[in-house]
Chain A
Amino acid sequence: MQAPPRVQLRSITTYFPENDVTANDAVDMDIEAGTIHALVGENGAGKSTLMHVLSGFTASSAGRIMVDGRTVQLNAPADALTRGIVMVHQHPAYVPGFRVWENVLLGIECTGPAKLLDRSAAVTLIAQTAARYGVSIDPNARMQRLAASQIHFVALLGALLRRPRVLILDEPTAPCTEPEVALMFSLLRSLKSEGTAIVLITHKLKEVMEIADRVTVMRAGAVVGCMSLCDTSAAQIAALMIGEDCQVGDFDRRLVEALAGAPHGGNTNAGAVAGTGSSAAGTASARRSRSPHARDTTLELHKVTVYVGDLAVLDDISLSAQAGEVLGVTGIRENGLEFLEDVLSGSITPDRGVVLLDGKPVKRYSPRHFRHIGISYIPTDRILRGASMDSTVAENLILLHRKELQTGGVLRRKDVAAFAEELKQRYGITGVLHQPMKRLSGGNIQKVILSRELSGLRKVVVFSEPSWGLDLRSRDLMYSEMRALRDEGAVVILISADIDEVLGLSDRIAVMYRGRIAGLLQAEQRTRERIGEFMLGFKERDITALETRGSQDG
């Protein structure tokens, strides 16, 4: 007789009466020890909710949870933790002022004599655990200094210290660069060999194909498929996720193929996505009025330098982008992408150099002024910068249009509601408009931000890591919006550490390395390999000639 699966979920139903939503509808799922079990589905399909039930964060309305064949009651996260069920959230919570070791130990403090925190023991323990799994992280670093991917690793370390028997990861690779993904996967494989059951929530089918042993597909709160990876294909999983009842457009299919791991020749990939420009033209014509004079818009960075202490985090950056093109900027995190994002959104003032819009230097570096002159911006940090989690969804949606929705300083309630409803419908935001933003899933939060930033008159749109946590359909919608913007004559700047995304969407690609532009690649010369070489700093700055040629072309 075989041992029972480590976790069995039976008829789990989760109903939220406050917004009349059934997030899980009689879901069954078995999680075996020593396997990596992928859980996939579109935004709002109920994946995170199901795992919140298993980890004790959310109470289910009905159903049974069995651990090692015995029924258990999980009323609080602590109940799940005592049974070895540990979840790392999509946006791990942390205390910004704390150091890494303090965050990791929250709740499992090592205490020395007199119940005082034993700092050196804690630091050693964390360093050992990190070394065992090949993670390099300074236990004494302050949390707010870490990149988003490092925060995920810190959260993961915290989970590992609890010696999990069931480890649940909610989109752990979303903010990671490729080497970090590789590191995380090797970590997961060694955990698996130690017998841990791992649940991996992800949107990236490529990752599912690479690492998972089993996959469960959810749609609209129900499980629509559960297969062993050897019996299925990426195309089949994608079809299950999207659902046969929905129209899968040409674009969807190509995108599915691309994401499902079509050969990474770069050009094939780019061709697949670029070839669908025509489908976006339809939406473009409907909103032609959006940027009437934008044909001649240019955005230029001239010798922009930003220092943090003595270190030039942006070092003499000169870049220009013309109307009607998508300029991709990529690189490995910590090489200046985040500072470029801050300069382009007016959040920081360059120590040297200027940003020019239509050839004129911008007057002030403030987000307010940048908005005023027509620069729109989708930030990497959605929770702190892109949204107000305690405000309602509607209040988040109207941020940029508050001036148009008022008469004599008074907001027109009906127009506010209609405006919010229109954006909600257009982007398929799942959620209730008058509820707090924090009730939405990660993907839906991004949809709110996108719909807000892309509505209205925009000369320049800066996207920073726009597709983290988005499902295929939303990604498709966003990509076609991005191309529509370009076709209308807006300047689109895409900052992303995801090479495939940048390759697929950009007309030109700038690669950053250590605060400098290591390379600027034209359409015909770009391949994953060349970008990789520039990202890692193998080649540098043989590109000045190309850049001048590029601006002449434009």
Chain B
Amino acid sequence: MAEKPAASRTPVRSRTPGTVIALLAALLVTVVLLVAGSPSPLRALRAFFGGPFSNIYYLGNMLDGAGLLLIAGLGVGLAFRAGVFNLGGDGQIYISGLVAAIVCLAIPEAPAAAGIVLATGSAVLVGALLAGVCGLFKYLWDTDELITSFLISAALVPTVSFLIAGPLRNQQSNLLTTVRIAERFRLLRILPPSNLNLALFAALLLAPAAYFLLYHTVRGYELRITGLNREFARYGGIAVGAYTVVPMAISGGLHGLTGAFAVLGTHHAAIEGFTFGLGWNAIAVALIGRNHPLLLVPAALVFAYMEAGSKAAMLHTEFSFELASIIQAVIFFMITAQVALPRLRPRLRRPETAA
């Protein structure tokens, strides 16, 4: 006998099919670009779709990328769930990775476990501080955490690049990179010669852990309620201030962890620009996975697959680097436009249906 309020008629037409449509649209545009932009369309198509599975090296690298995307995506999603936005993820990953590398280089003789824990811990701490401070500013002065986190990050990226290319540069290398970290601090590789390493397992453990936190604990309940309706949370005696600062700090911490894993597991050094937009792609992954920790797993895999596909197409055919970048941009654009727009203007939704 429940009477349905008007708004329920169009519940954003349930977001799952929308996301699938966006993914399919992105794929379609990709195929068109591949066919139109490559002198040998069939080879390009085969490279794009089959490339990531063509050998262990590509497969391992794709899975490694998916693992990093997943951890950073969890960071984005947790903050989203609390109603705060961490837009500085890419910079947080970048500087945390550098911090992890510096720690490893400073204590080359330390025992393996101690070094890894210390490097990872410092990276997490740096990420958590950088994002947490934006939450704190919001709590204290009501500054927009979306802007502050973005600006802090935007200022850090060139600073980190300068440190890597300048004072910390490995003079023996042709690349802009720090010295490689000691063997013993490197995370165990799973599918050599690919970059895949133990970090993937950490990522796969973190997703259910985040799910448990959000949906089975009081803190998670309070976090979600705060994210959905701050006024209601405040009215119910939830410390909404804490849920502004802490989720931002956790989000930054997870980005810090991503940076540490990228250095200790994937690159073994802090290379200039090693994130390759990882922090931004994590936002797309969080949006595809609707900020649900378990849905983020397939979301990260799909995104990493499409990314690896465009790289493979570029390496194996005359497909240009620019076109590969365009494909990635298209994928990102389609998904964020479809999923983010209704989210970024929730207030406009109700009058549209009721007016």
Contacts and interface: CB of A to CB of B under 8 A. Distances in A.
B235 A438 contact: no
A406 interface: yes
Nearest to B215: A411
A409 B1 contact: no
B228 A388 contact: yes
B2 A441 contact: yes
Contacts of A16: 2, 4
B325 interface: no
B218 A431 contact: no
Interface stretch (B52-60, B85-93, B245-253, B345-353): B345-353
Interface string B1-12: 111111111000
A57 B219 CA distance: 37
Interface stretch (B16-24, B61-69, B140-148, B236-244): B236-244
B221 A402 contact: yes
A155 to B, nearest CB: 9
A379 B231 CA distance: 11
Given A106-B351, A411-B218, A399 B4 contact: no
A430 B219 CA distance: 29
Contacts of B272: none
Contact of A402 (B216, B218, B354, B355): B218
A351 interface: no
Contacts of A52: 3-4, 6, 9
Given A96-B347, A389-B229, A406-B218, A368 B238 contact: yes
Contacts of B219: 409
| Best-buried of A46, A95, A431 by chain B (most CB within 10 Å) | A95
Given A89-B354, A93-B7, A44 B237 contact: no
A385 B37 CA distance: 55
A116 interface: no
Given A95-B351, A390-B228, A57 B2 contact: no
A19 B2 CA distance: 9
Contacts of B46: none
A440 to B, nearest CB: 6
Interface string A396-420: 0011101100100111010000000
Nearest to A409: B217
Nearest to B229: A388
B37 to A, nearest CB: 39
Given A89-B354, A391-B225, A411-B216, A368 B5 contact: no
A411 B234 CA distance: 20
A48 B3 contact: yes
B351 A49 contact: no
B232 interface: yes
Interface in A77-99: 77, 89-97
Contacts of A432: 2
A441 B236 contact: no
Contact of A47 (B3, B8, B232, B347): B3
B219 to A, nearest CB: 6
A377 interface: yes
B5 A439 contact: yes
A441 B3 contact: yes
B224 interface: yes
A389 B4 CA distance: 13
A400 B4 contact: no
A543 to B, nearest CB: 32
B2 A44 contact: yes
Interface size class of A (residues with CB under 8 A): 35 or more
Contacts, number: 149
Nearest to B220: A411
Contacts of B217: 406, 409-411
A438 B218 contact: no
A385 B232 contact: yes
A395 interface: yes
B221 A411 contact: yes
B222 interface: yes
A444 interface: yes
Given A372-B237, A379-B235, A438-B8, A46 B348 contact: no
Given A409-B219, A411-B217, A400 B237 contact: yes
Contacts of B231: 384-385
A385 to B, nearest CB: 5
A379 B234 CA distance: 13
Contacts of B1: 21-23, 44-46, 220-221, 430
A371 interface: yes
Interface string A103-136: 1001100000000000000000000000000000
Interface in A437-455: 438-442, 444
Given A93-B354, A399-B225, A400-B236, A438 B7 contact: yes
Interface in A31-65: 43-49, 52, 57-58
Contacts of B350: 93
A430 B2 contact: yes
A117 to B, nearest CB: 15
Interface in A333-372: 345, 347, 366-368, 371-372
A386 interface: yes
A387 interface: yes
A94 B238 CA distance: 27
Contact of B4 (A158, A366, A439): A439
B229 A384 contact: yes
| Best-buried of B2, B3, B235, B237 by chain A (most CB within 10 Å) | B3
Contacts of A19: 2
A386 B231 CA distance: 9
Nearest to A416: B221
A494 B217 CA distance: 35
Given A93-B355, A95-B347, A384-B232, A57 B9 contact: yes
A73 B228 CA distance: 36
A6 B12 CA distance: 34
Nearest to B212: A410
Interface string B252-291: 0000000000000000000000000000000000000000
Interface in B135-194: none
Contacts of B229: 384, 387-391
Given A96-B347, A368-B237, A411-B218, A23 B2 contact: yes
A377 B236 CA distance: 9
A367 B234 contact: yes
Q: Which 3 A-B pairs have the closest CB atoms?
A: A441-B3, A371-B237, A93-B354
Interface of B: 1-9, 216-219, 221-222, 224-225, 228-229, 231-239, 347-348, 350-351, 353-355
Given A52-B3, A389-B229, A399-B236, 19 more contacts: A16-B2, A44-B2, A47-B3, A52-B4, A89-B6, A93-B6, A93-B351, A96-B347, A221-B1, A367-B237, A377-B235, A388-B228, A388-B229, A402-B221, A402-B222, A410-B217, A411-B216, A442-B3, A442-B5
10 contacts: A95-B348, A96-B347, A158-B355, A385-B235, A387-B229, A388-B229, A390-B228, A395-B221, A436-B8, A440-B2
